[in-house]
Structure 1
Amino acid sequence: MKLVNYKLKYDFALSRMGVMLNNNVVDLHQAYEQMIANVGAKESAFPLPSDPDTFYANGEASMEIAKKVYAYIEKNEPLTQYKREDVVLGPPIPNPSKIICIGINYADHVAEMGSEIPEFPVVFSKFSNALIGPEDDIHKISATKKLDYEVELAVVIGKKTSNVNKTDVHDYLAGYTMGNDVSARDLQKRTVQWLQGKSLDHTTPIGPWLVTKDEITDPSNLAIKSFVNGEIRQSSNTKHLIFDIPFLVSFISELITLNPGDIILTGTPDGVGMAMDPPQYLQHGDTVRLEIEGIGIMENKIIEK
């Protein structure tokens, strides 16, 4: 399944959970009610939340019912669905309790940044104020002159995770999405802590949807790319991650309890603007396009604020 957080265009109602079906967005809760009306009350022991935050907070319970709903609408025409152009997609998980990021996790990126292969994962955080949807503009504020792009595979936690073994990590995941870890390099580098350059308002698009883990059988072998104004900048594969997803989730879960809906951004490959000669930073009007195999495409424009 490809799960989305959506609103109808020009509608100020609350965001709702949806699922992609033949390039249309189906309202998940309304499809659930349609299914209940047709297959009976035995499916309704756990109500399916309509808002994304509650949906993900309920973890596996929500996901299991969503799978049944999706199987139902694949065989039965859903009563409520919208054309892709009639909706606006938000970040799949709009308010995760944690956004955990991994730095310098591709060897070629380590080299281009003049760093050394880390002995342990380089872990830092973002706040949810940075998150935007897959179609939103990225804000470039006057405090930075060196705004940079970073395409990253994002892992979404599916159930409470603490001290999980690497071999069991798959059982704890909801799925995968992608993110642009937009970084203000001048702010990031002016202290030893990176946070101020990594969590600016309205700078981290996530999306376009969450692809459930059953659809991506091998997240360690996905092509990953970024483009700026149509020019390819990054082109790699997740097989080049220094610390792979099972290791990262296990490692983090030894330190921090992960909750359903938490996001882990797994690092970016080489080709960032800072490492070019001369450096090429993002400017007003630029368009950044990300592509990850098995997930899709996300494109955002840079706007000065």
Structure 2
Amino acid sequence: MKLISYRKEGEARFGAVVGEGVVELNRRFEQVPDLAAFLAEPSLLPQARHVVATEPTDYPFASVQLDAVIPNPGKVICVGINYVAHAEEAGRKVGEFPVIFQRFAETLLPHGEALVRPKVSEQFDFEAELAVVIGKGGAHIDPADAMDHVAGYTCFNDASVRDWQFHTHQYGMGKTFRKTGALGPWLIPAADISDYRKLVVRGVLNGEQLQEGSLSELAFDIPHLIAYVSKALPWNPGDILATGTPSGIGFKRKPPIFLKPGDVFEVVISEIGTLSNGVIDEA
């Protein structure tokens, strides 16, 4: 099942992609305002599956304007240096604790919309990642129970402004530029993925694969990350956990490869799909 947030006739809606069409779910579930609220109520997903299986699509997929899968998440928690091979290429060692940083919701953009290279830097890099969408909130979560809090998975490009990232020891400023965090195109429910550790993440620039990594290679796996963060802040429905990028990033290549206007970067994840975004310069 492919769940999307989108706009139709100027209105924010959510639904499911079926073939080349869209089944509008918000009018069938009027009690929930958006996809995050839909995911927070587990009983709604089986009902939505029934709707998708028995009712015709409402309009063509090509007629909708996608939003980021979760248009306004309360938290976007990102993990750095979480693939061993990526840590090696970055000259880092995986530590005792995960490297955590945050993004703001206003940095996000959907599949098909152009990433914006900022005026202040030409060191605009790509990071293909799997993103976890939280469905069930909670604090002080036991790792053994953590996967019960996962609503589903989507693709994420944690595009980074490298020189700004390394202005200080904190990553923050390199990760918070407008329209640099692509999220989508859709969410695949967790129940549709038999084992997330078998998923393979690939980063493809202008048709050339530059990144590849399996989720089995994570230094800190998803249950550990969910549990760790929950000790500091409660997770809420619709929150995003970006699990880190595999090796092959641009600024560690010789010579470095940075995103430039006209490029197209794709995050391709097995069993999930392809997130594709062009690149433009900031106006």
> TM-score band (shorter)?
over 0.9
Structure 1 CA distance for aligned equivalents of residues 199 and 205 of structure 2: 20
Deviation at 1:25, TM superposition (A): 1.1
Structure 2 CA distance for aligned equivalents of residues 77 and 160 of structure 1: 31
Structure 2 CA distance for aligned equivalents of residues 23 and 242 of structure 1: 38
Find out whether 1:303 has 2:283 as its counterpart. Answer: no
The equivalent position to 2:154 in structure 1, one of 170, 177, 180, is: 177
Task: Verify the 8 A CA contact 1:88 1:135 in the aligned structure 2.
Answer: no
User: Percent of counterpart pairs with the same letter?
Assistant: 37
Structure 2 CA distance for aligned equivalents of residues 254 and 58 of structure 1: 25
Query: Greater CA deviation, 125-134 or 13-22?
Result: 13-22
Structure 2 CA distance for aligned equivalents of residues 16 and 72 of structure 1: 16
Deviation at 1:83, TM superposition (A): 1.4
Between structures 1 and 2, the one with greater helix share: 1
Determine helix, strand or coil for the equivalent of 1:29.
Answer: coil
Task: Verify the 8 A CA contact 1:175 1:212 in the aligned structure 2.
Answer: yes
Deviation at 1:247, TM superposition (A): 0.8
CA offsets per residue over residues 35-66 of structure 1, 9 Å max, x none? xxxxxxxxxxxx532x42xx4146532x4224
Find out whether 1:266 has 2:246 as its counterpart. Answer: no
Find out whether 1:18 has 2:15 as its counterpart. Answer: yes
The equivalent position to 2:47 in structure 1, one of 68, 73, 78, is: 68
Equivalent residue number for residue 27 of structure 1: 24
Structure number, greater radius of gyration: 1
Find out whether 1:142 has 2:119 as its counterpart. Answer: yes
Equivalent residue number for residue 43 of structure 1: none
Determine helix, strand or coil for the equivalent of 2:95.
Answer: coil
Task: Verify the 8 A CA contact 2:131 2:240 in the aligned structure 1.
Answer: yes
CA offsets per residue over residues 143-185 of structure 1, 9 Å max, x none? 1110000001101111112111111112111111110000000
Task: Verify the 8 A CA contact 1:225 1:234 in the aligned structure 2.
Answer: yes
Equivalent residue number for residue 191 of structure 1: 168
- Structure 1 residues 228 and 73: CA distance shift in structure 2, 3 A: closer
1:201 aligned partner, one-letter code: R
Structure 1 CA distance for aligned equivalents of residues 31 and 192 of structure 2: 22
2:22 aligned partner, one-letter code: V
- Structure 1 residues 72 and 29: CA distance shift in structure 2, 3 A: same
Structure 2: gaps spanning 5 or more residues:
none
Find out whether 1:77 has 2:60 as its counterpart. Answer: no
Structure 2 CA distance for aligned equivalents of residues 124 and 95 of structure 1: 18
1:86 aligned partner, one-letter code: S
Determine helix, strand or coil for the equivalent of 1:152.
Answer: strand
Determine helix, strand or coil for the equivalent of 1:260.
Answer: coil
Find out whether 1:119 has 2:119 as its counterpart. Answer: no
- Structure 1 residues 64 and 192: CA distance shift in structure 2, 3 A: same
Task: Verify the 8 A CA contact 1:48 1:65 in the aligned structure 2.
Answer: no
Task: Verify the 8 A CA contact 1:154 1:265 in the aligned structure 2.
Answer: yes
Find out whether 1:2 has 2:2 as its counterpart. Answer: yes
CA RMSD of aligned residues (A): 1.4
Determine helix, strand or coil for the equivalent of 1:163.
Answer: coil
Structure 2 CA distance for aligned equivalents of residues 81 and 118 of structure 1: 50
CA offsets per residue over residues 176-213 of structure 1, 9 Å max, x none? 11100000000001111111100100111100111111
TM-score, normalised with respect to structure 1: 0.89
